[in-house]
């Protein structure tokens, strides 16, 4: 049996020592373990001592208001911004200084909060571009089928120019593009931003299904706590570049108010 997921990842108070990473119920190690991450821009450090982990099939909510360090954390994990310090282990390998190219090849994917599609290409061509590095045609076809199953609108609008789709549909295209590369870790930066609640629900349901069906591990960055709590397994709350709380979904949902945390 694995140890308790929450207890396993809590750093010993004040010692700077990180406990051994938690295991899940199957005894499997987390897919991603981040220990004492320090990150920032140029010489300016904005992320301090961040510990987090996520297992295959698990969704970790990374909550916190604007400027709390959520995006910087995943940019450092992906390797867009080289970490100032700490350790990042992905699939059992130390990738702290691996860089984004290598991390993407190893199975990390990130979807930035700004909508990102190639506006004057069709929906299907956008999706296929997401799998451009995959030489396996059968797998590309299977992934396209999976994306169409999750978002039938992308099949219905296959030949439409992506730039003429609604905001929510374009968000589905960019999620679909990321999924075409068969990632194992998906880092979603505020996918609900600017979208109507019904669209957010549809996208979140697809993300939950991917975690359950495909074993995808997800870091879900959100300010929209209410929506996020519908699909996360656990969450951490960040403030001023630090993790100030780690709770299960049920613990978080049981709070009368979470606004005081922000």
46 binds, among Mg ion, ligand ADP, none (CB under 5 to 8 A by kind): ligand ADP
- Residue 108: CB minimum distance to ligand ADP, A: 17
Please, which residue, 23 or 71, has the CB nearer to Mg ion?
Answer: 71
191 binds, among Mg ion, ligand ADP, none (CB under 5 to 8 A by kind): none
Tokens (6 digits) for 151: 């978002």
Tokens (6 digits) for 73: 């954390």
Beta bridge partners of 39: 47
- Residue 147: CB minimum distance to ligand ADP, A: 26
Radius of gyration of the chain (CA): 18
Number of residues engaging ligand ADP in binding (CB under 6 A): 11
- Measure Cα distances from 63 to 201, 202, 220 in Å: 17, 20, 8
Please, which residue, 71 or 227, has the CB nearer to Mg ion?
Answer: 71
DSSP-assigned letters across all residues of 151-191: -THHHHTTTSBGGGS-HHHHHHHHHHHHHHT--SEEEEE-T
> Rule CB under 6 A: which of 193-252 touch ligand ADP?
none
Which one of residues 53, 55, 70, 143 is an interface residue with ligand ADP (CB under 6 A)?
A: 70
Which one of residues 66, 114, 254, 259 is an interface residue with ligand ADP (CB under 6 A)?
A: 66
Instruction: Please say whether the beta carbons of 86 and 53 come within 8 A.
Output: no
Is there binding between residue 83 and ligand ADP (CB under 6 A)?
A: no
Which one of residues 9, 71, 124, 182 is an interface residue with Mg ion (CB under 5 A)?
A: 71
Other residues' Cβ atoms within 10 Å of the Cβ of residue 142: 12
- Residue 223: CB minimum distance to ligand ADP, A: 8
Is there binding between residue 46 and ligand ADP (CB under 6 A)?
A: yes
Is there binding between residue 43 and ligand ADP (CB under 6 A)?
A: no
CA distance 176 to 128: 9
Where does the chain show beta strands of DSSP type E? 32-41, 44-54, 59-63, 85-90, 93-94, 108-111, 185-189, 217-222, 234-239, 242-248
Q: Taking contact as CB under 6 A, which single stretch among the options 41-49, 120-128, 148-156, 198-206 is the one that binds ligand ADP?
A: 41-49
Tokens (6 digits) for 51: 């510990």
Which one of residues 41, 82, 105, 215 is an interface residue with ligand ADP (CB under 6 A)?
A: 41
Beta bridge partners of 110: 187
- Residue 86: CB minimum distance to ligand ADP, A: 15
101 binds, among Mg ion, ligand ADP, none (CB under 5 to 8 A by kind): none
Instruction: Please say whether the beta carbons of 231 and 191 come within 8 A.
Output: no
Binding site for Mg ion (CB under 5 A): 71
Binding site for ligand ADP (CB under 6 A): 41, 44, 46, 64, 66-72
């Amino acid at each position: 049996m694995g140890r308790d997921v929450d207890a396993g990842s809590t750093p010993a108070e004040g010692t700077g020592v990180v406990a051994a990473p938690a295991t899940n119920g199957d005894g499997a190690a987390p897919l991603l373990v981040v220990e004492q991450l320090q990150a920032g821009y140029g010489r300016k450090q904005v992320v301090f001592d961040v510990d987090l982990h996520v297992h295959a099939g698990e969704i970790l909510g990374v909550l916190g208001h604007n400027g709390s360090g959520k995006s910087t954390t995943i940019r450092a994990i992906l390797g867009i911004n080289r970490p100032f310090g700490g350790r990042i282990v992905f699939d059992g390998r130390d990738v702290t200084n691996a860089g984004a190219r290598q991390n993407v090849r190893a199975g990390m994917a990130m979807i930035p909060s700004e909508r990102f599609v190639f506006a004057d290409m069709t929906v299907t061509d956008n999706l296929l571009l997401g799998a451009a590095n995959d030489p396996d045609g059968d797998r590309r076809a299977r992934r396209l089928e999976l994306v169409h199953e999750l978002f039938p609108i992308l099949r219905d609008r296959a030949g439409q120019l992506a730039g003429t789709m609604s905001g929510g549909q374009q968000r589905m295209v960019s999620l679909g593009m990321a999924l075409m590369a068969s990632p194992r870790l998906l880092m979603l930066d505020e996918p609900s931003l600017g979208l109507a609640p019904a669209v957010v629900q549809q996208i979140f349901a697809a993300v939950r299904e991917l975690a359950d069906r495909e074993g995808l591990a997800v870091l879900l960055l959100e300010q929209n706590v209410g929506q996020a709590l519908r699909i996360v397994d656990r969450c951490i709350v960040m403030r001023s570049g630090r993790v100030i709380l780690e709770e299960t979904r049920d613990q978080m949902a049981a709070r009368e108010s979470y606004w005081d945390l922000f």
